[in-house]
């Protein structure tokens, strides 16, 4: 075991998730440390996305606890988890295609925006100021990823290419300056080069902001190798290995789990 340097940012203890007879997460213990990038690996159906869904409050865990910054967040609603500072992307793109790029990204910042009825309907001056601030913020963030994308701020998301949609989704997750970002297979549906570019951009943004922790689910091993400091490997909802990329690739259990898979 690597010695724990300081208090973990997120800690899942004995996390179990059952769907009827199926055990998707089986007494899982996972720690995410401050400022680290953690790779979450495992064959299909090993419970990686379920872990994200439980952390973000979409599923209520059958048992176990999740602590974030020392606070118990198990059982909180997705809204409350977001307020606590955790955001995510989805494996399949979940942009609202009929809305503009700006709308899609701005919604990620709803923690900072005033949703009060009076404010929105009657204080248009204050809203205008808030709006202009947000436009600048969204534009700057998009420009970090791709200058051309910033020019499409008020185009509908339906007209974007696959990689631009992914970028917009990541900007939506980043704009609220989360303390933990959960990336669910950012490479899905993209080429090697596109994925590499995307990851570089995320790292770039991360350096500019207060460096946040990232958990990344990924099948592309070179992405994991390049970006992560530590990996956790799941199989059948259990943790079967933990360590640096070099360590887990030589782990016998991991090889057994992937045998026949790749």
* Residues lying near another protein in the complex (CB under 8 A): 49, 53, 56, 58, 77-79, 82-83, 87-88, 90, 92, 94-100, 103, 106-108, 110-111, 113-115, 117, 120-121, 124, 127-128, 131-132, 135-136, 153-156, 172, 176
Strand 37-41, strand 238-243: pairing: unpaired
Task: Tell me the HSE value of 12 on the side-chain side, using a 13 A CA sphere.
Answer: 24
Min CB(218)–another protein separation in Å? 17
Min CB(151)–another protein separation in Å? 10
Min CB(120)–another protein separation in Å? 4
Based on CB atoms, which residue is closest to another protein, 5 or 98? 98
Based on CB atoms, which residue is closest to another protein, 63 or 79? 79
Helices 124-145 and 162-174, packing angle to 10 deg: 130
Min CB(232)–another protein separation in Å? 20
Based on CB atoms, which residue is closest to another protein, 36 or 169? 169
DSSP secondary structure, 73-126, as one string: -TT--HHHHHHHTEEE--SS----TTSBHHHHHHGGGTTTS---HHHHHH-HHH
- Which residues 6+ apart lie within 8 Å of 150 measured at CB? 139, 140, 142, 143
Structure tokens at 22: 């199926």
Based on CB atoms, which residue is closest to another protein, 37 or 81? 81
Based on CB atoms, which residue is closest to another protein, 16 or 120? 120
Min CB(189)–another protein separation in Å? 16
For tokens 């592309």, name the residue.
Answer: 220
Closest CA to 183 of 200, 164, 197, 202: 202
């Amino acid at each position: 075991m690597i010695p724990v340097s300081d208090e973990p940012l997120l800690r899942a203890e004995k996390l179990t998730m059952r769907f009827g007879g199926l055990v998707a997460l089986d007494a899982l213990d996972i720690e995410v440390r401050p400022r680290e990038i953690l790779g979450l690996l495992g064959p299909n159906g090993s419970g990686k996305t379920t872990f994200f869904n439980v952390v973000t409050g979409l599923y209520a865990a059958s048992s176990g606890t999740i602590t974030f910054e020392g606070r118990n967040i198990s059982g909180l609603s997705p809204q409350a988890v977001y307020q606590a500072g955790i955001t995510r992307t989805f494996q399949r793109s979940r942009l609202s295609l009929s809305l503009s790029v700006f709308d899609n990204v701005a919604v990620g910042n709803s923690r900072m925006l005033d949703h009060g009825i009076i404010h929105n309907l009657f204080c248009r001056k204050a809203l205008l100021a808030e709006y202009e601030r947000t436009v600048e913020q969204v534009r700057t963030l998009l420009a970090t990823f791709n200058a051309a994308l910033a020019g499409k701020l008020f185009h509908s998301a339906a007209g974007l290419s696959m990689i631009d949609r992914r970028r917009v989704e990541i900007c939506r997750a980043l704009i609220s300056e989360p303390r933990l970002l959960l990336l669910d297979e950012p490479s899905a549906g993209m080429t090697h080069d596109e994925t590499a570019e995307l990851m570089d951009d995320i790292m770039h943004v991360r350096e500019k902001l207060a460096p946040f922790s990232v958990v990344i689910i990924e099948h592309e091993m070179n992405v994991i190798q390049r970006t992560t400091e530590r990996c956790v490997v799941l199989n059948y909802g259990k943790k079967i290995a933990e360590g640096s990329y070099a360590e887990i690739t030589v782990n016998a259990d991991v090889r057994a789990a992937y045998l026949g898979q790749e």
